[in-house]
Structure 1
Amino acid sequence: MSRPLVADIDLDALRHNYMLARDLAPDSQAVAVLKADAYGHGAIPCARALEDLAPALAVASIEEAVTLREAGIATPVLLLEGIFETSELELVDRHGLWLTVHSEWQIEALLSFRPRQPIPTWLKVDSGMHRLGFSPDRVETLWRRLQSATAQVTDLHLMSHFATADSLQPEYFHRQMQLMKMLSERLGAPTCLANSPATLAWPQAHGAWNRPGVMLYGSDPLEAANGASRALKPVMTLRSRIIAVQELATGEPVGYGGRWRAPRPSRVGVVACGYGDGYDRHAIDGTPVLVEGQPTCIAGKVSMDMLTVDVTDIPNAAIGSPVVLWGRADNGAVLSIDDVARYCDTISYTLLTGVLPRVPRRYHGNRA
C-alpha cells in the first residue's frame, strides 16, 4: 500500500476560476499564468485543461515555454521575464513565443535578430513596482522604436505590474494606474496590467489583456475578500490519512522540543505529511486541519515526514481517517489555503509551489 499523501488537482475548478477571471473583464482577454509549474499544480495538465478556453498562456522562462511546446501545447505562450540571453531568441522564433522586453539589451538583441515572423512583444514599464521595466520617461522613445521595427515586432503592448492592488490602502495602486493610463492614452497603446487582485477588484485596470495567476488556483489574493474572490474554488487538495493515534495524559508533550503539551487527556493523530513533502515547518500549534471532514488543528512541531493533530474532539478519528491539509474534504467542507498560510506566516503562493515532487499529483475533471 502506498503512502497516503497526495495532491488532488481539480481541473474543473481550474476552468471555473479561469472563466470567472474572463467573465469579470468581458472586454479583455485573459492570459493564464502557468509559471512555476502552474504554481505547483503541474503546468502540462493545467495547460491542457485550459487550452480550449485561454487564448494565451504565460510562463517565467524559456525552459517553461519549451516544456509546454514539447508536450504539444500550441497555444501562444508569453515569456513574462523575456529572454535571459540573446541565443534564446532562436527558440522564441522556433516555438512562436511572445516576448516581454524590460531591459535595453533585450531590445537591442531583438532589433538585431531576423525572425521568420515578427514576434508579438510586450514592453514592460516600471510604474512603481521597481523590479523589472523601463522608467516611464523612456517608454515613448522605446515604444516608437519598437513600433517601427516591423520585421521584428508585431502586436505591441504596454505591460506593468501592480504592487498594492491587493491592499485595503490602494493609494499606490491608483498612482500606478494613473501613470499607465496616461502612457496608454498618449501612445494609443493596448495594455496588460491586471494581475489576480486587479482582475478581481479593479475594473479600471482591465486592459486588452489581463494576467490572472494565483486566483486560477483558488487562492484569494485580496486583503479583504469580495464577492468575486469568494466565488473562487480550490484546485489543489492536499490530503493524507492518520497513520497512528496516541493517547496522552494531561501535560504530556508531543513532538520535537515538546512545544505542545496536552491541556487535558487527549488523543493525537499522526498524519503522513511533513516538511519533506513541502508542508511548512513554521506551522504553529492551532494551524487548521480537517480530519474526517471536521475542523481540528496541528499540535506540535511539523517533522520531516509526519505532523500531529489534536483529534480529542473527533471520537471517530482512527488509523486510516482522511485528513485534508488544505482544500476540499469529501463532505464538502473547505479549508482555505489562505487560512493555512496565515498560521504559517507566509502566503499561499509559497505553500502551493512548495509541494515537493515526492507528493503524487492526481488529476480529475473533464479535461484530465
Structure 2
Amino acid sequence: MRDAQLIINRAALLHNLQLVKQYAPHSKVLAMVKANAYGHGALIIAQTLEPHVDALGVAFLAEAVALREAGIRCPIAILEGVFTPEELTQALDLGCYLVVHQAQQLDLLADYQGQHKTSIWFKIDSGMHRLGFLPQEAIPAYQRLQTIDCVRELILTSHFACADDLSSDKTREQLAVLDALHLQLHALARSFANSAAILAWPQSHHQWVRPGIMLYGSSPFATQTANDLQLQAVMHFQTKLIAIKHIAAGETVGYGSTWRADRATRLGVIAVGYGDGYPRHIQTGTPVLINGQRAPIVGRVSMDMLTVDITDIEAEYGDTVILWGDTLSIDEIATYAHTISYELACQITTRVERIIL
C-alpha cells in the first residue's frame, strides 16, 4: 500500500455547512459536489450532506447519474444543463433540476413528450460572459419557458465573476442587472450566491445559496484565511518520510540539478509526487510539516517522491509528513504553486489511499 493518504473529515464538512446556514439563515442550500466534490469524493460527501441540504449541484449529467446509481435521492441540479433529447429524458427520469442557459435547451424542453416536470434554473449572463441568456434575451426566453409543460417552477440564477474581490465594483454591477430583471419576471425565486457571496454579499443570498469551496474548508478570498473565517479543512493530505540522506555543501538534488546545497544538508525523501497529484511546478521552499515543524521542499518534485531539507528539524525515518490539512492550509500551499486550492484538491489521483473519518 502506498504511503500517501487523503483523510476526509466529515465532521469538518458539517461544521462548514453550519457556517453557511449561519450566514444565510433564510436560504435553501444547493451544495456543490461537482468535480468529485472538489476532489474530496462525490459519494461520501453527498451521503454526508444529503440529510442536511436542499439539493446537490453537479456539472453535467454523468455526475448526476453516478450519484443516483449510488443511492443518492435528494434533488440534484445539473449546472450545465443537458444537450440532447436522450440526456433530457434521462435527467428528468432521475428527477434532476436543470439549468437552462441557451435557446437550444429551450427547444429541447419544448419538444419533450414525457410526463415528468422539474425545476428549471433560468440562467442569466449578468456579466460573467460564460453561460446564460443576456438580459435583453431574458424576457422572451422566460415567456417561452412559461408555456413548456415539463417546467414545474422557475428559479432565476446567475454567477458572479468577482465576488471574491471586495474592491471590485463588478458584483454590484451584476446585482443591479439582476435586480432590474427580477422586477420584470414576476418575483421568481433567485439563486446567485457562491461561497464568496455567501460570506461577503448578504444582499445576494435570496432563496437559494450555492456553497462550494467554503464547504471544503478553504477561503474564497486572497485576503482572509480559512482560520479567519472559522472554516475547517475537510481534506488532510499526508504521507511518510521514507529515507534520509546526507549531502555535502555544493551537491545538487533532483532532476535537472536545480537546487544546490549551500551547506552540509540532511535531506528527507517523502513518498509523494506528481503521480499522486502533488504539483510538479511548485516552488522550492514550499513547506511540509513534520512533527509540527516546517521543512522546505528542495529540488524538483518527481513522479513518486519529493525531497525536503530537514537539517534544522527533528525528523526520522517513518515520520508522518503533512502536505496540507488542518495544520498546514491548502490555501497557503496553493500560493506556492501559483494556483488556487480548488485545483490542488481536484488533482489528487486515485492511487492515493482514501480514509474517511
Correspondence for 1:177: 175
Please state whether the residue corresponding to 1:148 is helix, strand or coil. coil
SS at match of 2:15: helix
SS in 1 for 2:183: helix
Q: Cα distance, 1:114 vs. partner?
A: 2.9
Q: Is the 8 A contact 1:168 1:223 kept in 2?
A: no
Q: Which residue of 1 aligns with 2:194?
A: 195
- Cα distance in 1, alignment partners of residues 129 and 52 from structure 2: 33
Counterparts of 2:201 and 2:311, CA distance in 1: 45
The corresponding residue for 1:216 is 215
RMSD: 1.4
Q: Deviations over 1:233-281 (max 9, x none)?
A: 1111110010001112222211112222223222111000000111000
CA distance in 2, matches of 1:74, 1:278: 31
1:131-178 CA distance string (max 9 Å, x none): 1000101112211221233x2101211111111001142211111111
Deviation of 1:228 (Å): 8.5
Match of 1:313 in 2: 312
Output the CA distance in 2 between the equivalents of 1:115 and 1:125.
Answer: 27
Partner of 1:331: none
Quick one: distance in 2 between partners of 1:140 and 1:53? 35
Gaps of at least 5 residues in structure 1 are 329-333
Q: 1:159 aligns with which of 150, 157, 160?
A: 157
- Whole-Å separation in 2 of the counterparts to 1:231 and 1:153: 40
Question: 2:307 is paired with a residue of what secondary structure?
Answer: strand
Superposition pairs of residues 1-368 of structure 1, within 5 angstroms: 2-149=1-148, 151-187=149-185, 188-225=187-224, 230-315=229-314, 317-328=315-326, 334-364=327-357
> Which amino acid is 1:336 matched to?
S
Q: Measure how far apart 1:227 and its partner are.
A: 8.6
Contact in 1 for aligned 2:218/2:226 (Cα 8 Å): no
* Counterpart-to-counterpart distance in 2, 1:297 and 1:278: 18
Higher mean Cα deviation, 190-199 or 177-186? 177-186
Runs of at least 4 residues off by over 4 Å: 226-229
Q: Is the 8 A contact 2:103 2:141 kept in 1?
A: no
CA distance in 1, matches of 2:302, 2:226: 38
Please list every run of 5 or more consecutive structure 2 residues that lacks an aligned counterpart in the other structure. Answer: none
SS of alignment partner, residue 8 of structure 1: strand
With over 3 angstroms needed to count, the CA separation of the structure-2 counterparts of 1:226 and 1:355, relative to structure 1, is closer
Aligned-pair distance for 1:84? 2.6
**Matched pairs, number:** 356
Inter-partner Cα distance in structure 1 for 2:323 and 2:168: 32
Q: Deviations over 1:32-58 (max 9, x none)?
A: 000011011110110000111011000
| 1:106 shift after superposition | 0.5
Counterpart secondary structure, 2:333: helix
Cα contact 1:76–1:96 (8 A) shared by 2: yes
* Deviation at residue 293 of structure 1 after TM alignment: 2.2
Paired residues of 1:200 and 1:229 also in contact (CA < 8 A): no
Equivalent residue letter for 2:12: A
Moved more, 151-160 or 272-281: 151-160
Question: Aligned equivalents of 1:337 and 1:286: distance in 2?
Answer: 15
Change (3 A) 1:229 1:39: farther
Amino acid in the other structure paired with 2:71: G
Task: Tell whether the 8 Å contact from 1:36 to 1:353 is kept in structure 2 after alignment.
Answer: yes
The structure-2 alpha-carbon separation of the partners of 1:226 and 1:204, relative to structure 1 and needing over 3 Å to count, comes to farther
Amino acid at match of 2:191: C
| Cα distance change on mapping 1:205 and 1:41 into 2, 3 Å | same
Distance 1:3 1:53, change over 3 A: same
What is the percentage of aligned positions where both structures have the same residue? 46
The answer to which of 228-237 and 72-81 deviates more is: 228-237
Question: In structure 1, how many angstroms separate the alpha carbons of the residues matched to 2:206 and 2:2?
Answer: 46
**3-state SS of paired residue (1:268):** strand
State the TM-score, normalized to the length of structure 2. 0.97
